[in-house]
Amino acid sequence: MSRASLSVVSDAVTVRVPAKVNLHLGVGPLRDDGFHDLVTVYQALSLYDDVRLSPSSELRVTTRGDGAADVPGDSTNLAARAVAEVARRADRSPRVAIDIDKRIPVAGGMAGGSADAAGALVGAVNLWGLDIGRDELTEIAAGLGSDVPFALHGATALGTGRGEQLMPILARGEFHWVLAIARSGLSTPAVYGELDRLRGNRSVSDVEARRPDDLMAALTSGDPRTVAPLLHNDLQPAALSLQPVLRRTLRAGIDAGALNGIVSGSGPTCAFLCADETSAVNVAAELSGAGVARAVRTATGPVPGARLLSA
């Protein structure tokens, strides 16, 4: 995350923000506040949105690129809410144009909206030359959405609470991923709701008791073959229930030579961990040919969180 410069107030700033995948997503019972307690392992991937902020007569959001038509351009956009909140705290008017260059799939389970909000936070702080520190920015981020603090943080991290409380995890080396982006998105609340429906009256064990210690040790080893069998997502059955075609996508990736594949977060993007770069390129080519996805991308992780590109 970039800190504000106190002296330089820029004409425009661009912030690059990564997508995330959850290597482990353990979901506890539904809480009274409508969220679920989580224990999750996030990894930031080299699939980025670029968020540009410049002075304007009004707060507005323009999005171009993948799925841009589905992103709201008004004040309901999470990036606009991020700028409005920084402006409120700094006691200034949020007259900023936000231009988002989108590569992270919209409603894809890769925290694209959260990434844009994180980019807007870092952008506003730098555009206005504010002295807002990392802790306060993380607090604002958590108020915007469960995944926003991680988009600021990046790298590999354990998330608890509703996902917003982070602890860094040491991950050695570089992991090679293939992402199969589905033809239509999934709503995050709908996927959590489907999980609750599938669970019915079954009691759900305390999520704290299910910290993925084996996975965390495997990440420190840096060996994708050790990490792959430990990938886990409690939301996967719910995403598969809402989009049964994803079973075929997951099978196609494994058949193509991936070490393992999971639904990313609430889906429907499927993420495949591969042994190395060559394998990832081969898996991506086969998946593209199999026609199971709208688009197929390769990416590596971990990468840093939101960072300033230019001022």
Residue closer to ligand C5P, measured from CB, 66 or 164 = 164
Q: Which CB sits closer to ligand C5P, 192 or 272?
A: 192
Say whether 99 is catalytic.
Answer: no
Can you tell me which of 4, 21, 38, 158 binds ligand C5P, judged by CB under 6 A?
38
224 is in an annotated binding site: no
CB of 303: closest distance to ligand C5P in angstroms? 21
Q: How far is the CB of 40 from ligand C5P (least distance, A)?
A: 9
Selected binder of ligand C5P within 20, 52, 153, 162 (CB under 6 A)? 162
> 85-88, long-range: CB within 8 Å, 24+ apart, which pairs?
85/140, 85/143, 85/144, 86/121, 86/124, 86/125, 86/128, 86/130, 86/132, 86/140, 87/124
For residue 87, count other CB atoms closer than 10 A to its CB: 18
Q: Is residue 199 a contact residue for ligand C5P (CB under 6 A)?
A: no
* 158 neighbors 23 (Cβ within 8 angstroms): no
Q: Among the options 49, 50, 147, 234, which is catalytic?
A: 147
Q: Which residue among 20, 37, 99, 102 is the active-site one?
A: 20
The minimum distance between CB 296 and ligand C5P, in angstroms, equals 25
Give the C-alpha separation, 4 to 2, whole Å: 7
Q: How many residues does the chain have?
A: 311
Residues in touch with ligand C5P (CB under 6 A): 34-36, 38, 145-147, 162-163, 188-189, 192
